[in-house]
Structure 1
């Protein structure tokens, strides 16, 4: 009798385990086993962050989902995003413009701005440049401002070399260019002859080969090329500040050259395609770690969680 009871108990427990496993399996299939594609384009500055998140997502979360991340530039990316059958996300190193919002409204697209990290505009010079490692904010402005008329390094400071300054930066497709033009130069014309490039790797190469060069781009590109370039410490009025993850904060010492970076989500695509929404939620939940790994200052957990909670509500 005792053996019979034990046998019955074993059968019942086995049935419970099988039932529980089956329920768990069904839950995983509907909640996490996704397939399809997610298309991301836009900012070259934000590219390293989103590419890292995409790679981690495909490896660790959804091996049957293909997340394609490109880097046409913020403005060029918005043109692709704000079109019939456009991309799912547009990375941006600036806020969406009023005319871009109007285009979205005309197309009937629901667009959600997602703030993902903080970036610092970093001035970079050639490794052999040992005179301009520290500049004031006004000196940076004068170097890039057409009306300032500073052509030689000695025009910035008399003890600097009497050599022509060669200036570099990203072209008009990039939000970094627009931020620099609008927020740092106060929408005044850039110096004539500035070499503007689409590809950030080209900028790195050009500055690394030109002793008299100075250029600008996001901090992450400097971090990944410290062996080729030197970052300029900027004096905003209280002494030189080195761009770093510690100083690049909204209220930090590098704040005048700090800006938020974003990805914009097509909400209609997110509601229609579970993998798009799932990647969006994953990106926000993991943005802080990926940011630090790719040269961005992370947002607070509370700020990221609030945005992730909103996305959860779209399910």
Structure 2
């Protein structure tokens, strides 16, 4: 989303220059945003209370804008013919350090007695935080013997290269590479649901999650170029042709776009309470 917004804004604004770094949500918070070195942090999970406090200690208020939705997708190798739908308990069992099955047969005796090879997000990623909290059941708790990376293509390649592998990806990556790996349906107790933008938008897909931008309010108030960029980016977040068709995320609806624009103007004017600045905390 940040890359698309930057590229589109640069096309319309001659001379606009920006720097974009891919460090993962948590890495971006810790290394750049919370110390006050960056204007914006893209995040695939909500900001945490301790991060809000760290920003306050630095001297600024973060302002939250949901910019898209995602359907985080659990994947297996295309030759996996024993698992089409996984429930959350099964996924938790696979990834939790207290259970940590070595083979598929350790989960179900009818499944292959072959070692499970796991691929997932690096610990600096917001996707890692989301997966551990929502799937494993404990934030940042996970078995150690998995291959972690910030690169989605490395996860897909790893799963594609081993019949007994398993991992998880943003839906946007899977949607653009649907033949490389097999997506699992997810059962949270109401039956199996396949990952899709429609299911994520409707709320029926269990691993639907929001995608955010967090903006430094102090820098926002001081920088007119940042203000104009954020107005543009928020409008772009409602453009289905870019967000859904090109990127593979759920676009924001008209009401959500307007709420974000209203929050932006309130943040610029200084007329925004701490609760209003971070809607996900309410």
TM-score scaled to structure 1, two decimals? 0.78
Q: Deviations over 1:45-94 (max 9, x none)?
A: xxxx22112211211x212212332210111101201224x111000111
- Corresponding residue number in structure 1 for 2:8: 56
Q: Are 2:255 and 1:302 aligned? A: yes
Q: Distance in 1 between matches of 2:90 and 2:134?
A: 15
User: Distance between the aligned counterparts of 1:178 and 1:269, measured in 2?
Assistant: 27
User: Take 2:212 and 2:133, find their aligned partners in 1: how far apart are those partners?
Assistant: 18
Partner of 1:279: helix, strand, or coil? Answer: helix
**Distance of 2:265 and 2:184 partners within structure 1:** 42
Choose the corresponding residue for 2:225, options 264, 269, 275.
275
Work out which of the residue numbers 53, 56, 59 in structure 2 matches 1:102: 53
Is 1:258–2:258 an aligned residue pair?
no
| Aligned equivalent of 2:276 | none
Q: In 2, Cα distance between the equivalents of 1:257 and 1:152?
A: 24
State the distance in 1 between where 2:100 and 2:35 align.
42
Q: Secondary structure at the match of 1:253?
A: coil
SS in 2 for 1:148: coil
Contact 2:72 2:208 (C-alpha < 8 Å) held by counterparts:
yes
Q: 2:147 aligns with which of 195, 199, 208?
A: 195
Q: How does 1:15-164 map to 2 (within 5 A)?
A: 49-59=1-11, 61-79=12-30, 80-84=32-36, 86-164=37-115
Residue 288 of structure 1: aligned partner: 238
Q: Distance in 1 between matches of 2:137 and 2:79?
A: 31
Q: Which runs of 5+ in 2 are unaligned?
A: 270-282
Distance in 1 between residues matched to 2:14 and 2:74, nearest whole Å = 39
In structure 1, the residue matched to 2:264 is 311
Query: Segments of 4+ in structure 1 off by > 6 A?
Result: none
Unaligned runs of 5+ in 1: 1-48
- Conservation of the 8 A alpha-carbon contact between 2:91 and 2:135: no
Q: Deviations over 1:191-236 (max 9, x none)?
A: 3412222322222221121111100122112122223111111122
Contact 2:80 2:163 in 1 (8 A): yes
Q: 1:176 aligns with which of 119, 127, 137?
A: 127
Report the count of equivalent residues. 263
Q: Tell me the distance in 2 between the aligned counterparts of 1:272 and 1:149.
A: 50
* 1:235 equivalent in alignment to 2:187: yes
State the 1:149 CA deviation: 4.2
Q: What SS does the corresponding residue of 2:204 show, helix, strand or coil?
A: coil
8 Å Cα contact 2:183/2:195 also seen in 1: yes
Q: Distance in 2 between matches of 1:240 and 1:83?
A: 43
State the shift of 1:243 in Å: 0.2
Point out the structure with max Rg over C-alpha: 1
For residue 155 of structure 1, report the CA deviation from its aligned partner.
2.5
Contact 2:93 2:136 in 1 (8 A): no
Q: Does 1:224 align with 2:190?
A: no
* Secondary structure in 2 matching 1:68: coil
